[in-house]
Amino acid sequence: MASRSNALGELTRFWLQARHGCLIDEAVAVRVPNGNSDIDLVAMRPDGMPWQLPDGTPITRAIIETKDEHDFDPAGRDFAKRLRADVAALGDGRWIPKGQKAHFSMLRQEHFDKAVQIFGSDDFELLFVVHALEQTTRSELGPLLATRRIHWLTVHELVDDLLAWYGPGKGQAALRHTLVGDLWHLLVGFCGMRRSGGAG
């Protein structure tokens, strides 16, 4: 059974494994003051070749945090407020120094240092997969953060990317060997469900 237990985390894992052929490590423990945290997902392809985000950004290795609060923040406005605070704490760096508050835990120095330990260098991307992120904030901060190899992806974009990929010749029946793959094959392949639109 997968160690991730929320739907967005499982869908992201499926996207990385089935869509991009990545090897995955999950719930990687990170020691932080007064306790433990984790990196939700660590991903890279076994052949070391890059894979792409839906916007075409190439990724060779990445640490991924999934955050889903659609029940009470459907437009991602609270996420936007928290992201603005984290960007202020980042300053000109790629991580928030130890001792400072971080709303998105993977921006903490401890998580960055753990990823350096895993990959053997700082040659990796940070990817946040969220249910939504208020568009004005994303438009303002997204390009700035991308220069620091910090990227944002919404569930709408992830699902659209899976829908564009899924089709004849993609070994749909083989997807039934995992729970999320089987659900995808049933709902999309058999029932013909498609996304009708919505905020990205």
Task: Return d(Cα 162, Cα 157) in angstroms, integer.
Answer: 9
Q: Which domains does the chain have, with CATH numbers?
A: 7-170 (3.40.1350.10)
Residue spans of alpha helices (H) in the chain? 7-14, 77-90, 109-119, 135-146, 155-165, 179-184
pTM: predicted TM-score of the whole model, two decimal places: 0.90
Sheet of strand 23-32: strand arrangement = 23-32, 35-44, 61-67, 125-130, 150-154
31 bridge partner residues: 36
> Residue 32: CB partners within 8 Å, gap ≥ 6?
105, 108, 110
Residue for token digits 């992120």?
133
CB-CB contact of 66 with 77 (8 Å): no
Task: Return d(Cα 173, Cα 196) in angstroms, integer.
Answer: 25
pLDDT in tens, the chain (200 residues): 344 568 999 999 999 999 999 999 998 888 887 778 888 999 999 999 999 999 999 999 999 999 988 888 889 999 999 999 999 999 889 999 988 888 999 999 999 999 999 999 999 999 999 999 999 999 999 999 999 999 999 999 999 999 999 876 666 778 888 899 999 988 888 888 888 764 44
Task: Return d(Cα 148, Cα 132) in angstroms, integer.
Answer: 21
User: Which 8-state DSSP code applies to residue 87?
Assistant: H
Residue for token digits 């070994």?
171
